[in-house]
Structure 1
Amino acid sequence: MYGKIHEIYSSISGEGISQGIPTVFVRFAGCSLRCGKTDTRSLWCDTPYALGPNQGETKPLSTIMDEIVALDPTHGYQILLTGGEPLEGKNRDLSISIAESIHSFRTHNDKPYPSSRVETNGSEKITLDPFFIFTMDYKLPGSGMEGRMDLENFQILEKRHNSLDEIKFVVRDRIDFERSIEVIREQKIQTNILYSPVHGEVDAKELVEWIKIDNPPKGRLSLQIHKVLWGNQKGV
């Protein structure tokens, strides 16, 4: 089995409830969404260099697993599958194979973090599989991509009932925030909720005030500490 991989590296998890945990990142190439881009506003994707399906190197599963082990020989790091979009097209099968292999080995050898965390954009179907933990975006109106969201994912998250799953709202303006509150109520969301501001378009301190007033259940501010530490560098 082969897939297009943009980069594999180790760092710490930069956001969400796993923030600060030593992590091996497997970044897939290819994503069909283009968040934030309008006639007057620019693309806001953190990883535009991995959006194209050809912006990666074709690698077999065995090579990917060898690279993960080289970065984490004691099998103690969280494994995070990201992109691009790790559940889109052929990326999906490869993500499943990676996560199954890691889960099987770590479960039988009593290693930490047996389930791989997947950062997914909300347009692809998530699964009930125990070898995955999900950080799932819900794209708000400011992204221009809300119509691409798969609403069945909310039902799947409820069935999973995994205390480590999370839903991320990236907020561009007050309209986005108000829409997030509507979505939480409409979908009766019980999963962990992350709020992240679009850099340069909404002040994080202002977003904090909105969160304090509405106080969505299990909601929290999530800033990207890897950017605080290293700026926009790749591979950190």
Structure 2
Amino acid sequence: MFGKIHEIYDSISGEGISQGIPTQFIRFAGCSLRCGKVGDKKLWCDTPYALGPEQGEHKSLEEILAQLLQNDPHHQKQIIITGGEPLEGKNGLLTRSLSDHIYRFRIQEQFPYPASRIETNGKEEIDEKPSRVFTMDYKLPGSGMESEMHIENFEILKKRHNSLDEIKFVIRDRIDFQRSLEILHEKKPDTNILFSPVHEDLDAKELVEWLKVANPPKSRLSLQIHKFLWGNKKGV
């Protein structure tokens, strides 16, 4: 079983409830969404270098596990599987097999962080298995991609009832923020809710003021600390 891998590297988790935790990242190549390119506005993807499947190398499950072991021989770090889009097409098959394998091994050996965190774009269907936790992006109007969202994922998240799952809203403007509140009212998710401003489009302080007034349940501001530390670089 093979997937297209752009990079595997060590860093810290840059956002969400796992922010600051030493982490091994597995970045898949290829994503069918193009977020933010609406009208005369620009693409806002954090990882445009991994959007195309040709921007990755074929790697097998065994090759990925070997590199993870080389990077972290004591199996102590959190694992985040990201992209691109790790659940799309053949990448999704490998992501599920990989996270299942890591989970079984770490549970058996009593290592920390047995469930890999999967950062997914909201288009692909998630599942109820405990071998993974999800950070699920929900694309708002400012992305131009809301029609691509797999809306049934909200019900799957309720069935999972995993305290580590997250729903992420990336906010470009007030319209996006109001739409996120509508979604929360309609779907009533019982999980962690992240609000992130579009870099260079929305001042984070303005988003804070909106959050202070609306105060959605289980919500928090999520800023990407890796950008503060290293700028908009890859592999960090």
Same-fold status (TM-score > 0.5): yes
2:90 equivalent in structure 1: 90
The CA deviation at 1:61 is 1.0
Structure 1 gap segments, 5+ residues each? none
1:70 equivalent in structure 2: 70
- State the one-letter code of the partner of 2:19: Q
Is the 8 Å Cα contact of residues 16 and 222 (structure 2) preserved in structure 1?
yes
Residues 82-126 of structure 1: CA deviation (Å, up to 9, x unaligned): 000000000011001110111011000000000000000000000
- State the one-letter code of the partner of 2:233: Q
Look up the SS of the partner of 2:117 in the other structure.
Answer: strand
- State the one-letter code of the partner of 2:212: K
Residues 3-31 of structure 1: CA deviation (Å, up to 9, x unaligned): 10000000000000000001000000000
1:51 equivalent in structure 2: 51
1:192 corresponds to 2:192? yes
Percent same amino acid at aligned positions? 68
2:176 equivalent in structure 1: 176
Provide the rounded CA distance (Å) in 1 between the counterparts of 2:5 and 2:38. Answer: 28
2:165 equivalent in structure 1: 165
Provide the rounded CA distance (Å) in 1 between the counterparts of 2:214 and 2:23. Answer: 33
1:217 equivalent in structure 2: 217
Provide the rounded CA distance (Å) in 2 between the counterparts of 1:100 and 1:213. Answer: 41
Residues 48-99 of structure 1: CA deviation (Å, up to 9, x unaligned): 0000011101111111100011111110100100000000000011001110
The CA deviation at 1:38 is 2.1
Q: Provide the TM-score with structure 2 as the length reference.
A: 0.99
- State the one-letter code of the partner of 1:168: K
CA RMSD of aligned residues (A): 0.5
1:148 equivalent in structure 2: 148
Look up the SS of the partner of 1:54 in the other structure.
Answer: helix
Provide the rounded CA distance (Å) in 2 between the counterparts of 1:56 and 1:117. Answer: 20
Residues 115-160 of structure 1: CA deviation (Å, up to 9, x unaligned): 0000000000000011010000000000000000011000000000
1:203 equivalent in structure 2: 203
- State the one-letter code of the partner of 2:170: V
Is the 8 Å Cα contact of residues 38 and 142 (structure 2) preserved in structure 1?
no
- State the one-letter code of the partner of 2:150: D
The CA deviation at 1:174 is 0.2
1:128 corresponds to 2:128? yes
Provide the rounded CA distance (Å) in 1 between the counterparts of 2:166 and 2:38. Answer: 28
The CA deviation at 1:39 is 2.9
2:114 equivalent in structure 1: 114
Provide the rounded CA distance (Å) in 2 between the counterparts of 1:100 and 1:216. Answer: 33
Provide the rounded CA distance (Å) in 2 between the counterparts of 1:203 and 1:38. Answer: 19
Provide the rounded CA distance (Å) in 1 between the counterparts of 2:106 and 2:114. Answer: 5
1:16 equivalent in structure 2: 16
Provide the rounded CA distance (Å) in 1 between the counterparts of 2:39 and 2:184. Answer: 29
- State the one-letter code of the partner of 1:100: D
**Stretches of 4+ moved more than 3 A in 1?**
none
- State the one-letter code of the partner of 1:134: F
Structure 2 gap segments, 5+ residues each? none
The CA deviation at 1:175 is 0.3
The CA deviation at 1:203 is 0.4
Is the 8 Å Cα contact of residues 142 and 173 (structure 2) preserved in structure 1?
yes
